[in-house]
Amino acid sequence: MGPTASGKSALAIELASRLNGEVINADAMQIYRGMDIGTGKPTLAQRATVPHHVFDVWSVGHPVSVAEYQQVARVALDDVLSRGRTAIVVGGSWLYVRALLDELNFPGTDAEVRARWEQRLHSEGASVLHAELAQRDPAAAIAIMPSNGRRIVRALEVIEITGQPFTANLPRESTRYPATYVGLDVPRDVLDERIADRVAVMWASGWIDEVRGLPELAASPTAVMALGYPQVLAFLAGEIDEQTARDETVRLTRKFARRQDRFFRRDERVQWLAYDGRDVLDQALLICT
């Protein structure tokens, strides 16, 4: 685990190659088919080197929930373990990692309650609901981006249904699958530069054409939240120019990476390794074995 652009995918593949392993995705957006360039998904060539699971599962029009991801990912994980293989879980989505590996049961839903909050989201906007969430559950408001209307609605729904803070339903350190946690540590200034370089490569690799080829993306309540995709859509709609779209993608990705890093560092199980250490693979292998 670690922030975006830290080199997680490459290390996961190397570890899987050395440990008779298979890779399981724990990234909230790499589960979508067609969202390849913008999510930094391992290429088909990379995925051919070792088995990869829980990539390209759903179309971008499908609003995937964490609970749905958990169900599919645990089937894959149990299958890998049943064959005596090592499972290498990789991803930057803190909640997805925890949902897969820790004991976490998701509260049910209430269509009427959710519809009411969704109506308020439509009429008042995400920022207003985020402010209300901050009053009801400050910790949840810190964890959820003010622009993520879907997650804000879900948090408020859970609070109303359960009578408890949304964070009371998040995973604690109660492990379902014993695991070794390895994090890649990248200095902030270096990470900022790597993110800028990564966005430039994505642009040069045809990211705009990728978005053009996903007409259902704009209407998706979940996939459209992926970093950079709203900016590319805004450029294609003529709402902003291309340079602004690129600059905003870099800025928002850097901001998101800081949030990722803060969440992962709260978990004392994570053992951090320098991303650029010459022996980072050997250190990771030593930790894992």
Banded model confidence at residue 289, pLDDT cuts 50, 70, 90: confident
Q: Does position 252 have pLDDT exceeding 70, yes or no? A: yes
Residue 56 has pLDDT above 70, yes or no: yes
pLDDT exceeds 70 at position 172: no
pLDDT of res. 151 = 87
DSSP notation for 175-203: BSS---EEEEE--HHHHHHHHHHHHHHHH
Q: What is the pLDDT of residues 256-284, one digit of tens each?
A: 999 899 889 988 999 999 999 889 999 99
Q: Which of 53-57, 73-77, 93-97 has the weakest average pLDDT?
A: 93-97
Q: What is the pLDDT of residue 162?
A: 86
pLDDT, tens digit, 9 for 90 and up, residues 116-130:
999 999 999 999 999
pLDDT score recorded for residue 166: 81
Which pLDDT tens digit goes with each residue over 18-54?
999 999 999 999 999 999 999 999 999 999 999 999 9
- pLDDT higher than 90, residue 228: yes
pLDDT band of residue 147 (cuts 50, 70, 90) is confident
Q: Sketch the domain layout of the chain as residue ranges.
A: 8-104+176-288, 111-169
What superfamily in CATH does domain 8-104+176-288 come from?
A: P-loop containing nucleotide triphosphate hydrolases (3.40.50.300)
Q: Is the pTM of this model over 0.85?
A: no
pLDDT of residue 250 exceeding 80, the answer is yes
Per cent of the chain over pLDDT 70 is 98
Mean pLDDT over the full length of the chain: 92
Please tell me the predicted confidence (pLDDT) of residue 109: 80
Whether 200 shows a pLDDT value over 70: the answer reads yes
pLDDT value at position 173?
A: 57
Is pLDDT at 171 greater than 60 in this prediction? no
pLDDT in the model for residue 168: 63
Distance CA(93)–CA(66), nearest Å, equals 10
Whole-number Å distance between alpha carbons of 215 and 236: 11
What local confidence, expressed as pLDDT, does residue 139 receive?
A: 85
Across 70-84, average pLDDT = 97
In this prediction, residue 108 carries a pLDDT of 75
Indicate the fold that domain 111-169 takes in CATH.
Answer: Histone, subunit A (1.10.20)
